[in-house]
Amino acid sequence: MNNIGRIELLIDHDTWIPMDKDKITTDVLGFSDDNFLHNRITNSQEETSLPYAVQTDIGHLDGKSIGLGVMEFSFM
């Protein structure tokens, strides 16, 4: 199950609003080892269909507003 599936299980139906849907993962440090971070990010995005590892959202739980963060552990 991916992040979106987990989020939909946790909160009230049709209350999910992504907070960082336009966020893009970047390599600000220029990190590299045997594979460049950009390549790792691209591969993880393709494998998970997610733009980044942690998704932050708002929604309702039992009618109360909440904020939540859900991490996709298979992302990198």
Residue 26 resides in a domain: yes
Residue-level pLDDT at 35: 73
3-class secondary structure per residue, the chain: CCHHHHHHHHCCCCCCEECCCCCCCCCCCCCECCCEHHHHHHHHHHHHCCCCCEEEEEEEECCEEEEEEEECCCCC
pLDDT digits (tens, 9 = 90+) for 44-71: 889 888 877 888 889 999 999 999 888 8
- Domain assignment of residue 76, yes or no: no
Are 51 and 25 contacting, i.e. CB atoms less than 8 angstroms apart?
A: yes
C-alpha R_g of the chain: 15
Residue 21: domain span: 3-71
Side chain identity, residue 67: G
Quick one: pLDDT at residue 38? 77
- Domain contains 22: yes
Mean pLDDT of the chain: 82
The total number of structural domains in the chain stands at: 1
Side chain identity at 73, as an amino acid letter?
F
